[in-house]
């Protein structure tokens, strides 16, 4: 389990028109009067058909090659291409007996005195991994093993580190079963805990680009993450989403807009959504209300793809999330394409937005999930395999994107941008009251790691 502790700043670019500017450590706040669509730059108002038509797979693939070249610059440090933030280090192992913890290990009273100097053995659930680790550390444990309540593998994140956190490991329910039997029988189970991890402070940078035209009080916002995991170059995850944004932003410079469009490339997503969390956290209330919606684009070209839409409903999320979801559904239907729903459960950078009252949604093509037989019929590919067989691996390189899926989804991103850049007619208004309707359901994930 990672112990990320990274500060994120924001590099602001008022581009996609005529002007440029940059500032650090503050959210994007307009410093100029907006230009009216077509009034100064002599460009036609954006429309979805023309913007979609400007998207070419050849350009996307060229951008992927350039991105891989950037990843190669890390080979001297990591031994392979990667775009990860930070670096790795090593620690010494610790030893002790496994000591079962009462209940779910969410209260100090759950930890018996025998935990001191030993390894706490804790069931997943109720509270976060970070809370379990901190409570175990306060009780004197040298490490924690959190085991799953079902047979699946378990990995998670501890969030921001505290002095009481100890080395924390995840164990599948299948592997935990025999250990639980031994402990219940009164047997002693000794353990050696070794973790390869590092806690350090580094500064990362979000990149924000906004049109110089368009109403700054009604802004379309979309984002993808600029980093990869340390294991590989991350061309699909999330090079495909980042490059989709770059291509759409580039083509958008040929048009004018009625509403401002704000593009975001988030830092530190793989370490726990650090960049997007920071951005939303420091937004003043008046700036929060100017963002009409946020669209998340993470993994647009998985090799064994499915066209996936986040099942973002208004019942569980800020009003407008469902309208955005339906825009994606209508577009796929109009193209004669199948789609499937995926949980809106905190796995990507939309999380901070919906938890602060901003409608959100997005599309994806799949990560480490298993394609079903039904999905094989709907989308082709191979049932029983991961959607992205190279997810978080060295082989996530320029050969790890499906050109068909990437092009289709980039056109859909262009459609979403063009639609809202022209008008928010019929889309729910933002208000101070709407900020109180933020998604309050506990998220299973924060990024790709479990938190509960």
- Reading the block at residue 161, the tokens are 């580190």
In what helix (H) or strand (E) does residue 422 lie, and over which residues does it extend? helix 403-422
Look up tokens 């022209």; give the residue.
422
Q: Using alpha carbons, select from 395, 350, 342, 397 the residue that is nearest to residue 370.
A: 342
Q: Is 77 left (phi over 0), alpha (psi -120 to 50) or beta?
A: alpha
Spot the catalytic one: 269, 271, 322, 375.
Answer: 269
Instruction: Tell me if residue 269 is catalytic.
Output: yes
Report helix, strand or coil for 127.
strand
Question: Could you give the CA distance from residue 160 to residue 3 in angstroms, rounded to a whole number?
Answer: 7
Q: Is 402 left (phi over 0), alpha (psi -120 to 50) or beta?
A: beta
DSSP collapsed to 3 states, 249-267: HHHHCCCECCEEEEEEEEC
Handedness of CA 208, 210, 212, 215 (dihedral sign): negative
DSSP 340-405: EEE--SS-STTHHHHTTT--EEEEE--SSPBPPHHHHHHH-S-TTSBSSTTTTSTT-STTS--HHH
- Reading the block at residue 235, the tokens are 């061309």
Cis preceding linkage at 248, omega within 30: no
End-to-end Cα separation, the chain, in angstroms: 13
What's the number of CA atoms in the CB half-sphere (13 Å) around residue 32?
15
Across the chain, which distance is largest between two alpha carbons, in Å?
Answer: 80
Backbone phi, then psi, for 308, in 5-degree steps? Answer: -110, 135
The CA angle 349-354-356, to the nearest 5 degrees, is 110
Name, in order, each residue with C-beta under 8 angstroms of 256's C-beta and a sequence gap of 6 or more: 35, 37, 38, 39, 41, 43, 44, 45, 46, 213
Residues in the chain: 452
Residues noted as catalytic: 269
């Amino acid at each position: 389990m990672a112990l990320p502790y990274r500060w994120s700043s924001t590099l602001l670019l008022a581009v996609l028109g005529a002007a440029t500017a940059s500032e650090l450590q503050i959210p994007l706040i307009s410093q100029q009067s907006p230009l009216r669509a077509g009034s100064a730059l002599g460009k036609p108002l954006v429309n979805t058909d023309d913007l979609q038509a400007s998207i070419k797979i050849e350009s996307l693939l060229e951008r992927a090659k350039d991105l891989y070249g950037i990843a190669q610059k890390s080979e001297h440090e990591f031994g392979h291409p990667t775009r990860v933030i930070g670096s790795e280090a090593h620690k010494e192992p610790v030893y002790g007996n496994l000591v079962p913890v009462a209940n779910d290990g969410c209260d100090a009273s759950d930890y018996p005195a025998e935990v001191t100097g030993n390894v706490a053995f804790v069931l997943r659930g109720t509270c976060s991994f970070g809370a379990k680790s901190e409570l175990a550390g306060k009780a004197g444990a040298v490490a924690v093993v959190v085991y799953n309540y079902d047979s699946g593998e378990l990995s998670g994140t501890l969030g921001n580190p505290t002095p009481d956190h100890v080395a924390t490991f995840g164990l599948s329910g299948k592997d935990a079963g025999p250990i639980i039997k031994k402990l219940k029988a009164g047997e002693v189970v000794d353990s050696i805990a070794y973790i390869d991890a590092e806690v350090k402070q580094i500064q990362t940078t979000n990149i924000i680009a906004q049109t110089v035209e368009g109403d700054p009080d009604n802004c379309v916002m979309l984002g993808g993450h600029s980093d990869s995991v340390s294991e590989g170059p991350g061309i699909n995850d999330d090079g495909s989403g980042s490059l989709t944004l770059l291509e759409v932003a580039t083509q958008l410079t040929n048009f004018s807009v009625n509403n401002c469009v704000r593009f975001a490339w988030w830092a530190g997503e793989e370490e726990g959504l650090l960049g997007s969390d920071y951005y939303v956290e420091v937004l003043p209330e008046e700036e929060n209300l100017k963002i009409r919606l946020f669209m998340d684009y993470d993994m647009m070209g998985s090799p064994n793809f499915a066209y996936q839409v986040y099942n973002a409903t208004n019942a569980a999320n800020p009003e407008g999330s469902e309208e955005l979801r339906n825009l994606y559904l209508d577009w796929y239907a109009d193209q004669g394409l199948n789609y499937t729903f995926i949980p809106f459960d905190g796995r990507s950078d939309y999380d901070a937005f919906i938890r602060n009252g901003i409608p959100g949604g997005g599309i994806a093509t799949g990560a480490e999930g298993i394609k079903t037989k039904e999905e094989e019929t709907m989308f082709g590919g191979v049932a029983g395999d991961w959607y992205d067989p190279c997810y978080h691996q060295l082989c996530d390189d320029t050969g790890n994107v499906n050109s068909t899926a990437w092009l289709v989804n980039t056109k859909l991103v262009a459609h979403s941008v063009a639609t809202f850049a022209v008008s928010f007619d019929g889309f729910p208004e933002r208000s101070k009251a709407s900020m109180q309707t933020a998604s309050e359901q506990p998220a299973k994930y924060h990024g790709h790691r479990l938190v509960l």
